[in-house]
Amino acid sequence: MTESFFPEENTATNPPEQIESPERLSDAPPEPPADDEVGSEESRLAALIAYVPFLCFIPLLNMRDNKTALFHARQGVILFLIELLAAVFLIDGISDFFFKGVLLAAVALSAAGIYSALQGKKFRLPVIGDLADKTKL
């Protein structure tokens, strides 16, 4: 038989030999590394350390290859920052200064909005404009 220019005809008359690779012979999926398992001793210890306020950076810096440790370390760092913010607001002088600064910024942004409204222009307020776009009012 002559060989055709169309690949479909070539494969129909002369099917290629199917050689199974060693990967196709086993049906089991590859196992993840043992150090990244949720139940491993190292991962559980890293998850525990991640939620202790000043120790949360240890798994974040030392265990970059362990996904479970990184997951808990990132959450622990965010919680640590929230705890620091709450501790700062316990101090009367600092919290008063912060709230006065926020109030002053709100008044300034309101004045800028009034000014642009009087001119008939649409002025996007720096932080407020993005938040207003994300909310469904």
Q: Using one digit for the tens of pLDDT, what is the confidence trace for 93-113?
A: 888 888 888 899 989 988 988
Residues found in the chain? 137
Q: Using one digit for the tens of pLDDT, what is the confidence trace for 43-55?
A: 788 888 888 888 8
Which of 33-37, 116-120, 133-137 shows the highest mean pLDDT? 116-120
pTM above 0.75, yes or no: no
Per-domain residue ranges for the chain? 35-90, 92-137
The pair of structure tokens assigned to 97 is 């200064």
35, pLDDT greater than 50: no
